[in-house]
Each structure stands twice: as structure tokens, then as C-alpha cells.
Amino acid sequence: MIDLNIDLSMNDSAAHYGWSKMIAVNEQNDNAKQHYTMKQVEFYEYIGRLAYNQINDVQGLDKKIEVLLDTLLPKFGFKRIPVGGVVDDD
């Protein structure tokens, strides 16, 4: 496991958040809660953007996301379940 010291400012985090949000067709009529709450797919987008822009010493977005999750999840008492290869049931 790579030990990361992720230096993420509030401005950087807010930018990644904004880039991850889906476009609202009519923001005037949409509930404000929808604007400030992430959908699951938007959260995944946020994690991907964060990994892509913050992890520089690993190649491949999939590996960057793994490194980011291995760093962040333990801080909240969670652990990533590693993804294995394809299982052939023959």
C-alpha cells in the first residue's frame, strides 16, 4: 500500500464536487436539496476525479482509485474489498 499525503484544499474539493454533479434541466424549479446532495453515480464520479487529479505516482485510473480508497476508507473505519480476476465456473 502506498502511503499518501493527500493535500486537498476546500477549493479543490468544491471544484471536484461541482464537476461531478449532473446538469439540472431547470434549476429554478428543482429542489435545492438535489443541488447540494450527491447521487451515488455523482459520488463515484467525484472519487474518480479526485483519484485522477490527486494520485500522480500510479498509472491507470483503476489503480489510482484503489490507492485513494485504500487511503481514505480506513479513516472512516472501512476497508476496500479487493477486486479479483474473472472466475470461470466451468
Query: Has residue 31 been placed in a domain?
Result: yes
The count of domains in the chain is 1
Sequential DSSP letters for the chain: ---------HHHHHHHHHHHSPPPS-TTTS-HHHHHS--HHHHHHHHHHHHHHH--SS-SHHHHHHHHHHHHGGGGT--------PPP--
Q: Tens digits of per-residue pLDDT, 26-60?
A: 666 656 666 677 888 888 888 898 888 888 888 99
Domain that holds residue 50: 10-76
Query: Has residue 27 been placed in a domain?
Result: yes
Query: Has residue 3 been placed in a domain?
Result: no
pTM score, two decimals?
A: 0.67
Confidence at residue 26, expressed as pLDDT on a 0 to 100 scale: 63
Query: Has residue 62 been placed in a domain?
Result: yes
Query: Has residue 5 been placed in a domain?
Result: no
